[in-house]
A and B are shown apart, each in its own frame.
Chain A
């Protein structure tokens, strides 16, 4: 099975500067990968490239086996992204926003109630216009959209931002369930203490390049894991049973 994400020398120039300056990244299906790095490292750009929202100016990108350059529409139907903005309509209610997103993706709205209940958006809140919600509640609605849509690749950009402790715990459960179901999660975060317990692997970015990479646990043998270049890494010899790999220009150094 094809990797969920396959980037080869991916270059993406927005404006005068390269947001991605030659990224090589392979993520097997069913894995949870955390992207870390300082502001401007290229985390958000990488997620937007994977979602087909940004086009590459060089290199290759294949998402869930589909070439991004040729079949962007097919990729978008299978990918869900939680960006910095919630991508919701203020004048529609919580339930209407979720139902619209699910139907737009070709699904049925049958999972809407369950998704809203899971994010604690049931009862009176589901009939409340999104414009009247707090930032954290809006974030939960955006997450409910993904839960109801059930994409094969989840792209989460700073998903913990604005969430209270309860919602963060629910997010952790959702990510775990998603990975267990065989879907893939690519998560960009500034808050490693929140994200690392969820992660199989951490990829460090700086200046639009991958500058480091470490596995935090033995890779799960999910769908496609066996064929992926990052699969089957030895679990011994590194803290918490994982393997540390530092990527250096020109190759991958395994420590």
Chain B
């Protein structure tokens, strides 16, 4: 399974390196979300700092939808999905490989967004460790859940519109917990504690990774 994971992740990342869709399109769209919200919130810095964690995770959420759509679009072109099914790869390895590739791409987007939050919103990070843990756990959860729902929608003609419809409500706990964990790490809100939210992010990631390993095979076989 791990060998297949590395093989699929390497293939997806190589495709991204060639096409640069995430770097040239998804990351700029995510930054654009931050910029537009900065305009909407006005010139006062206080509401922008308060809103920064939530806007960061909203932008990551939109970016994850685009990254997952891209991940399955390369499989649906030219019958590549059939090729992947025929390859004999372990479905669990395919799931973990695709999720890992999406996660790596999201990390790149998050680095850009974090810089954007600091520069545009003037946010200060109090606990850098908590920010990293929250981001890694949230990214793993989004990548796992996104890959699972991406596979569910992959065989359908309406997959582009169906994926956000299925995935965004499911990802709401990541948005909530990620925002609260970031608020705690940035010292926003009186007496806010980040630990319960970090735990929720870790549980979400673990549940969806386990679920994906078990049910990705049947999803891949769906017509």
Contacts and interface: CB of A to CB of B under 8 A. Distances in A.
Interface residues of B, number: 21
A220 interface: no
A96 B14 contact: yes
A103 B8 CA distance: 10
Interface in B1-40: 4, 7, 11, 14-15, 18-19
B155 to A, nearest CB: 12
B11 A85 contact: no
Given A76-B85, A87-B79, A129 B18 contact: yes
B126 to A, nearest CB: 41
B77 A79 contact: no
B86 A76 contact: yes
A155 to B, nearest CB: 9
B87 A105 contact: yes
Interface string A86-102: 11111110001000110
Most buried by B among A51, A79, A83, A103: A103
A232 B29 CA distance: 67
A91 B12 CA distance: 10
B88 A76 contact: yes
Given A84-B79, A90-B77, A104 B18 contact: no
A88 B80 contact: yes
Given A92-B18, A100-B7, A87 B78 contact: yes
A249 interface: no
A73 interface: yes
A53 interface: yes
A77 B18 contact: no
A106 interface: yes
B74 interface: yes
Nearest to B20: A91
B11 A89 contact: yes
Interface in A65-89: 73, 76-77, 79-81, 83-89
Contact of B15 (A51, A86, A91, A104): A91
A176 B30 CA distance: 55
Contacts of B223: 14
Interface of B: 4, 7, 11, 14-15, 18-19, 74, 77-80, 82-89, 223
5 contacts: A52-B85, A53-B85, A81-B86, A92-B14, A105-B88
Given A53-B85, A90-B78, 8 more contacts: A14-B223, A80-B86, A87-B80, A90-B74, A92-B18, A101-B83, A104-B89, A105-B88
